[in-house]
Structure 1
Amino acid sequence: MAIRTSAAARAAALSLGLLLAPPLAATVVGSLVSPAGAEPAAPTSEQSAALKTYDNALKNFVSILRQRRAQIDAGQPLPNLPGQAIYLARVEMMSAYKDLTDALPSRIGRSSRLGIPPAYFDADNEPLLDEYRKLFDLMEAPPAGAQTSDTPFKDVVDLATVIARAKGLDATGAATAGRISLGLFFAETNGKQNAGNARSNTYKGSLQTGPSEDRNGQKKWAAIKGSIAALDPALSRRDDREEARAGNLDHRFNHWTAVRDALMNAHADVFPQVPAIAKALPDPIDQMKLFELIQIIPSPTKAALKSGNLVGYRISDPRIMGYLRNNSVFAFGRADRAKSSATFREILDAMWLFNAKFEQALAKLSELKAGKPG
């Protein structure tokens, strides 16, 4: 079925066309300023090469954004994994900019409203990333027949909280588990329920699980359903209604069952460690990052939790480092990509692209606590 766009989206495409000409900051090599009144120093060959690479990467990113927008607006069939080429082009643009600012620190400009460190991104290009996000929202729209919830954010918090209680946590620990899980919802889908995945044919739904993970979560939920019913009869009745509603539907496309099964599959067994995690990582955003790492690199993260030295635990397996890079951690620029190992403290610090998502989650949680619908 053709994906239709709004007038606002068409306006975004027009502004994207205007961005084909790189902003002034992207066309002038930053001057190596000599003493006052002197001529700017000529760029070195390394600096010139870095600028050329960045200009080409920027043009390529603009080109693939325009191509995908045109395909969507025309209702044309999209390629398999239509988001992958855009994602890789964004990574290359940011990588090339980081290499440029490493070679020419004077090119580091103002901070962007997107929370990306200025050494990695030229804030003048914010509209490009706005369009990037809009395209992904279109390409990852829920399938026909997906079953939504009127309270998607509250559902995540309620399910995580009752699961944590069933796993033995007190009210404080369970509330922390609820907060962390809301962060996962924003990290995985920007808080969009029943999302598809433009970069994978396997991972789908509100918490982006695969079929086997969802089935495993269903089995684990069935094993504790009696405890859930005793702790929160109303929630248990809601669960019965959602199960009946889902019927033979892929559980990942009913928001309630998708969240429930995903939490049971990957996170419920870690919930008993939440008090110790909160002690080791007092920053709520660090706590969310750690649970996101359970999504990305589950075995090493669980090993780090068992090590007794969570933040100092070091990852050096090239395969695991590759998984991190595929999720925008140590992915940008030669210096980051050259890292062959990292401690969990370094990994958490490198997850800066997740910060804005987790801040959104904290803001939404504050709204829920204030009684706003959600």
Structure 2
Amino acid sequence: MGSRRLAAAAIAAVAIFGAVPTVAQKAAPTPQQSEALAAYERALGDFKSILTERRRQIEAKEPLPNLPGQALYLARVAVISSYKDLTDVMPSRIGRPNKFEIPPAYFDAEIEPLVEEYGRLFDLMEAPPANAQSSPTPFEDVVDLAVAIARAKGLAPEHAEAAGRISLGLFFAETNGKQNVRNARSNTYMGSFQTGPSEDRNGRRKWEKIKGDVAAIDPGLSARDDKEEARARGTDQRFNHWTNVRNGLMNAHSDLFREIPGIVKTLPDTIDQMKLFQLIQIVPTPTRSALKSGDLLNYRVSSPRIMGYLRNNSIFAFGRADRAKTSASYREIFAAMWLFNRKFEKAMAKFAEIRTR
């Protein structure tokens, strides 16, 4: 009897209201959403494919192509970029936070294992050469050298400490804190601070000019430097951790250390300070011009070449909206450097650990 009454009620409801849905129907995706989803799935498939291929080649000990990391890097960029395009048109696809601290609108946490494999492959492809000269204290070396150089440049202890902290951030930004690594995306830039041969030589020449000042300030550090110079004699100094850090700092950053008192006033946030010095690595000329302008954060760059360098370093590289930008202020550039945040946070934690010992 009960079932007949329910059936009769259902028939009556249909007669009055029309068909009664039992489950809420999902709206069909728009053509734009379907296109974005297909693009993401293609990019994800390509990423999986190149990861599998590189793993197979490495395990089979096959010769790798020139710049074996470039295809991996571009495939990862395409995955993040196409996912941002997808979430722009389908916000419901934005998921949970991920262990890499990438904004969820740019990254599906379900593919974390693929990015972990990406990191493992780069570790293998960028392993130091057999004759690399490592240090038992790689992080302390970076801080000690930066502080000594800053003091030789006339900085007060407080600002010399800032130079040490910032330089440790550069070490993490360049190599994730790994010493003497090669570069799977470049045949030019190598070592703990990822310098080219000419940059390394230039840094060495600059070091010779202030070496006496450093010795007067810190005789112990000067003695260590003499030992490392002797150890690295006849080799590529980029694969001695100490000399590469020293030469890298002298080449690109030591002159800017004098500006640290003003920089910390303009950029009180420590991570922003690290971002500024990292931009000296990536786009030195406009960054120095921005500093000289008196209005750092509002200084704009619009050169296609400079915007290309930024994109090649994962800044304005992800999603159509970012890629379409033809100019940016330094305030916008700092905000777009979110992929560096996790590295700089690690550097800050390591610096605090060193100084607490």
Q: Provide the TM-score with structure 1 as the length reference.
A: 0.89
The amino acid of 1:231's aligned partner reads I
Quote the offset at 1:38 in angstroms: 3.5
Structure-1 residue corresponding to 2:279: 293
Which aligned pairs between 1:312-331 and structure 2 lie closer than 5 A?
A: 312-331=298-317
The amino acid of 1:310's aligned partner reads L
Aligned residue among 87, 91, 100 for 2:77: 91
**Alpha-carbon distance between aligned partners in 1 of 2:190 and 2:217, rounded to the nearest angstrom:** 30
The amino acid of 1:351's aligned partner reads M
Matched, 1:166 2:189: no
Structure-1 residue corresponding to 2:140: 154
Matched, 1:72 2:58: yes
Structure-2 residue corresponding to 1:230: 216
**Alpha-carbon distance between aligned partners in 1 of 2:336 and 2:199, rounded to the nearest angstrom:** 27
4+ residue segments displaced more than 3 Å: none
Quote the offset at 1:120 in angstroms: 0.5
Structure-2 residue corresponding to 1:343: 329
Structure-2 residue corresponding to 1:142: 128
Identity of aligned residues (%): 69
Structure-2 residue corresponding to 1:12: none
Quote the offset at 1:370 in angstroms: 2.1
**Alpha-carbon distance between aligned partners in 2 of 1:167 and 1:79, rounded to the nearest angstrom:** 44
Aligned residue among 104, 117, 123 for 1:118: 104
Quote the offset at 1:113 in angstroms: 1.4
Quote the offset at 1:364 in angstroms: 0.8
Unaligned runs of 5+ in 1: 1-35
The amino acid of 1:260's aligned partner reads R
Matched, 1:48 2:48: no
Post-superposition CA distance 1:80-100 (Å, at most 9, x none): 100000000000111110100
The amino acid of 2:36's aligned partner reads A
Structure-1 residue corresponding to 2:115: 129
Quote the offset at 1:369 in angstroms: 1.5
**Alpha-carbon distance between aligned partners in 2 of 1:73 and 1:172, rounded to the nearest angstrom:** 49
Structure-2 residue corresponding to 1:276: 262
Helix, strand or coil for the counterpart of 1:83?
helix
Structure-1 residue corresponding to 2:229: 243
The amino acid of 2:229's aligned partner reads E
The amino acid of 2:58's aligned partner reads I
**Alpha-carbon distance between aligned partners in 2 of 1:143 and 1:304, rounded to the nearest angstrom:** 38
Helix, strand or coil for the counterpart of 2:68?
coil
Aligned residue among 332, 345, 349 for 1:359: 345
Q: Cα RMSD (Å) of the superposition? A: 1.1
Matched, 1:39 2:59: no
**Alpha-carbon distance between aligned partners in 2 of 1:76 and 1:289, rounded to the nearest angstrom:** 38
Matched, 1:305 2:260: no
| Alignment size in residue pairs | 337
Quote the offset at 1:106 in angstroms: 1.1
**Alpha-carbon distance between aligned partners in 2 of 1:113 and 1:289, rounded to the nearest angstrom:** 21
Aligned residue among 160, 164, 175 for 1:189: 175
Structure-2 residue corresponding to 1:5: none
Structure number with the higher helix fraction is 2
**Alpha-carbon distance between aligned partners in 1 of 2:84 and 2:198, rounded to the nearest angstrom:** 38
Post-superposition CA distance 1:319-338 (Å, at most 9, x none): 00000000000001111000
Q: Provide the TM-score with structure 2 as the length reference.
A: 0.93
Unaligned runs of 5+ in 2: 1-21
**Alpha-carbon distance between aligned partners in 1 of 2:175 and 2:217, rounded to the nearest angstrom:** 29
**Alpha-carbon distance between aligned partners in 1 of 2:335 and 2:59, rounded to the nearest angstrom:** 38
The amino acid of 1:275's aligned partner reads P
Helix, strand or coil for the counterpart of 1:135?
helix
The amino acid of 1:299's aligned partner reads T
**Alpha-carbon distance between aligned partners in 2 of 1:364 and 1:66, rounded to the nearest angstrom:** 34
Quote the offset at 1:37 in angstroms: 5.8
**Alpha-carbon distance between aligned partners in 2 of 1:99 and 1:366, rounded to the nearest angstrom:** 38
Quote the offset at 1:76 in angstroms: 1.1
**Alpha-carbon distance between aligned partners in 2 of 1:369 and 1:310, rounded to the nearest angstrom:** 30
**Alpha-carbon distance between aligned partners in 1 of 2:295 and 2:123, rounded to the nearest angstrom:** 39
The amino acid of 1:284's aligned partner reads T
Quote the offset at 1:39 in angstroms: 1.4
Structure-2 residue corresponding to 1:106: 92
Quote the offset at 1:111 in angstroms: 1.2
**Alpha-carbon distance between aligned partners in 1 of 2:267 and 2:92, rounded to the nearest angstrom:** 35
The amino acid of 1:321's aligned partner reads M
Structure-1 residue corresponding to 2:207: 221
Quote the offset at 1:144 in angstroms: 1.2
**Alpha-carbon distance between aligned partners in 1 of 2:104 and 2:255, rounded to the nearest angstrom:** 38
Structure-2 residue corresponding to 1:368: 354
The amino acid of 2:84's aligned partner reads K
